[in-house]
Amino acid sequence: MTSSSPPIPPARSSTPRRRVLIVDDNTELGDTLRAVVASGIPGIAIETAESGAAALVKAKKGFDVAIVDVKLPDVSGIDLITPLRAVSPFSEVLLLTGFASVDAAIGALRSGAFAFVLKSFRPEELISIVEQALTKVELKHERDELERRYRDLVEVTDVLVVALTGPDEVALMNRKAASLAGTTSDQALGRSLLESWIPPEDHAAMRAALATTRAQGRTAEVETGFVEARGARAGEGARDEASSAHPPARAKRIRWHLSPSRESGDLVYGIGIDVTERRALEKRAADAEALSAMGELAMNLAHEIRNPLNAAVLQLHLLTRNLDRIEADDATRGALKDRTRIVGDEIGRLNRLLTEFLELARPRGIAREPVHLPRLADEVLDLEEESAKGRGVTIVRDLPEDGCVAIGDREKLKQVTINLVVNALEAMKQGGTLTVRVRPDHERVRMTVEDTGPGIASELLPNVFDPFFTTKEAGTGLGLSIVRKIVDQHGGDVEIESERGQGAKVLVSIPIGR
Ligand code: ADP
């Protein structure tokens, strides 16, 4: 072998002792059979029985091949085949008879016998048949063992394994795939893979790949989303405490390798690798690159814009004051005031954009000081209390006094909290509840900011951390980018769980970083 891969061990590493059971009420013939088999097949273990009942008792000790006389005192050898094979499922039975009729032979084979041997056999003939039967038994064991290993492999592997018949009907789904799909291997059977777990935008690509695999009999690669079935968990029972502890549906990205089955016409096997993390990392790297490409130039530009902007604010201020002094009727004056207010608001927005942009683009290190996160969250909520009241939002503070201190940059972590709280408040136009929770979690502190606003549509969810992505009229789209940058700088994680109409929940976790 030239390949360096380790050799695959045989299915059964050592051949166990082979066992033959001879069932014949004629002890003389029984002894002859024993002698013939023992001499022809060295090392074989032989048991004998003189009746059907005795044979079944002995069979329980285990046997591979039984040689059974058709005429036994208590039962016909033919009727003994099924119970014997029930005791030892991979065994084979040879029937011995004195009559050589075609009907008898056919009857014996139909009843599941391996072969039909005439009592006038030649020794080598019997030995050859017994050996063939033993080989068959051996092969069945091997096949069973291989199947078991294959099943184990499919079950424990970290890749997704599915088999599809019909257009896309699930004929097999391994544990990994089922767990991502929010179902079980059994419950997945017979369901449409596309309708249940592949998002609509990826249907065409998946169908095309399946068609290629089937029509051309070759493998195909395709990448699709893979979403937990809607209501899968709710359907399994009430949304109790335990089930609501599960995060809601989150789309995964799966790279599928589809291959046709060699045995069955339309069966297609799909091996899927979860590339969600890889794609997310690639996207973050691309975002970071885009930001740094904006680099110096954009930063200088931002600084330069600030000065004239400040001058404009000042002039506007004077202008507004002077408006009171000009001679005009109230209506005219009012209209002019409205205009200056709008200009003022727009300048304010530009200023905010600049501040946030500079925060994001500035390559500054972070401080390392102990930060008591519950207290920090408390302060931020105090600051936002008024704004919340104005919107009819109730604030729930779940902020334990003990623990939850992380080493990090206080000001920056405060910025994170402000951005998240402001987003949550802005989302709740009709009032609602804002819950801020801080908890220790192993070597991390976890902060969640949850609102009861309209939530985020699943198709927008992957974009909310993109710089300049906003759905708000006066938004900058930089708030969450800043959050992620700061959390990254702390070696932490941030993610959003949300479904349209179900509010949003942002989870930030920061390493304690002793
Ligand atoms: P901005 O707030 O300026 O739009 P962000 O980066 O903070 O920028 O947020 C980006 C977008 O993410 C928002 O425009 C909004 O669509 C969505 N978003 C963020 N937080 C929430 C929330 N709590 N509820 C609903 N949508 C949200």
- Contact indicator for 125, 115 with CB cutoff of 8 Å: no
The per-residue pLDDT for range 110-125, each reduced to its tens digit, is 778 898 888 888 999 9
CA distances from 463 to 80, 103, 160 (A): 70, 76, 26
Last residue of a domain, one of 121, 154, 187: 154
CATH number at residue 257: 3.30.450.20
Has residue 13 got a pLDDT over 70? no
Q: Is the pLDDT of residue 162 over 90?
A: yes
Give residue-wise pLDDT tens across range 472-507.
Answer: 988 889 999 999 999 999 999 999 999 888 899 999
Atom of ligand 1 nearest to the CA of 482: 6
State yes or no: pLDDT of 103 exceeds 80.
no
In a domain, 224, yes or no: yes
Same domain, 267 and 333: no
User: Cβ contacts of residue 427 below 8 Å, gap of 6+?
Assistant: 451, 453, 454, 504
- Asked if residue 415 lies in contact with residue 508, where contact means CB atoms within 8 angstroms, the answer is no
pLDDT band (50, 70, 90) for residue 239: very low
- For residues 383 and 506, membership in a common domain is answered with yes
Q: What's the CATH number where 31 sits? A: 3.40.50.2300
Neighbours of 355 (CB within 10 A): 14
In a domain, 257, yes or no: yes
Same domain, 126 and 198: no
**Which pLDDT score, from 0 to 100, does residue 100 have?**
64
- Considering its fold, how many domains does the chain have in total? 4
Residues with CB under 6 A from ligand 1: 419, 423-424, 427, 451, 453, 455-456, 464, 469-472, 475-481, 504
Tell whether 396 and 468 lie within a shared domain. Answer: yes
| Residue 102 belongs to a domain | yes
Counting every residue written for the chain, the total comes to 514
353 — pLDDT class (breaks 50, 70, 90): confident
What range defines the domain where residue 117 resides? 19-154
Q: Are residues 422 and 498 in the same domain?
A: yes
The reply to whether 9 falls in a domain is no
pLDDT the model gives residue 360:
78
How far out from the chain centre does Cα 105 lie? 55
Rounded to two decimals, the pTM is 0.51
Give the mean model confidence (pLDDT) for residues 376-402: 94
DSSP state of 219: -
**Protein residue with least CA distance to atom 17, ligand 1:** 464
Residue 222 near residue 205, CB atoms below 8 Å = yes
Which of 154, 180, 203 corresponds to the end of one domain? 154
464 CA from centroid of ligand 1 (Å): 6
CA of 104 to the centre of ligand 1 (A): 83
User: How much distance in Å is there from the Cα of 395 to the middle of ligand 1?
Assistant: 19
Task: Give a yes or no: residue 2 inside a domain.
Answer: no
**Same domain, yes or no: 344 and 373:** no
User: From atom 7 of ligand 1, which residue's Cα is the shortest distance away?
Assistant: 479
250 pLDDT tier (thresholds 50, 70, 90): low
Decide if 5 is inside a domain: no
Closest CA to 270 of 215, 219, 199: 219
Q: Is residue 72 part of a domain?
A: yes
Specify whether 135 is located in the same domain as 171. Answer: no
The CA-based angle 56-61-65, given to 5 degrees, is 70
End-to-end CA, the chain: 53
pLDDT band at 238 (very low <50, low <70, confident <90, very high): very low
Pocket test for ligand 1, best of 417, 456, 460, 485 (most atoms within 8 A of CB): 456
Q: State the Cα–Cα distance between residues 82 and 77, nearest whole angstrom.
A: 10
Are residues 109 and 38 located together in one domain of the fold? yes
453 CA closest ligand 1 atom index: 24
What is each CA distance from 257 to 24, 58, 250, 253, 266, in whole angstroms? Answer: 57, 51, 22, 13, 16
**Which one-letter DSSP state was computed for residue 70?**
S
Instruction: Assess whether 342 and 426 both reside in one domain.
Output: no
* 112 conformational bin, left if phi > 0, alpha if psi -120 to 50, beta if neither: left
Q: Is residue 6 part of a domain?
A: no
Single out the residue in 154, 184, 210 at which a domain terminates: 154
The encoded tokens of residue 254 equal 């799966």
Q: Which residues pair with 433 in a beta bridge?
A: 394
